[in-house]
Amino acid sequence: MSLKTHCDAGCQKAFTLDHFQQEKLNDGIEKTFYCCPHCGQQYVAFYADEEIRKLQARIRRVQKRFADPADKHEDAARKEAELQALIKEKMDALRARVEGGGGGE
Spatial separation of the C-alpha atoms in residues 44 and 79, rounded to whole Å: 27
C-alpha torsion 52→56→58→62, nearest 10: 150
Q: State the DSSP H helix or E strand holding residue 59, giving kind and residue range, or none if neither.
A: helix 50-64
Give per-residue pLDDT as tens, 58-69: 999 999 999 999
Residue 12: count other Cβ atoms within 10 Å of its Cβ. 12
**Planar angle of CA 31, 87, 81, nearest 5 degrees:** 145
Residue 52 has pLDDT above 60, yes or no: yes
Nearest to 44 by CA among 101, 103, 94, 102: 94
Tell me what the pLDDT averaged over the chain comes to: 93
Spatial separation of the C-alpha atoms in residues 98 and 75, rounded to whole Å: 34
Q: What is the pLDDT of residue 104?
A: 47
Give per-residue pLDDT as tens, 13-25: 999 999 999 999 9
Would you place residue 101 in the very low, low, confident or very high pLDDT band (cuts 50, 70, 90)?
Answer: low
Indicate the pTM of the whole model: 0.83
Arithmetic mean of pLDDT, 37-54 = 97
Q: What is the largest CA-CA distance in the chain?
A: 51
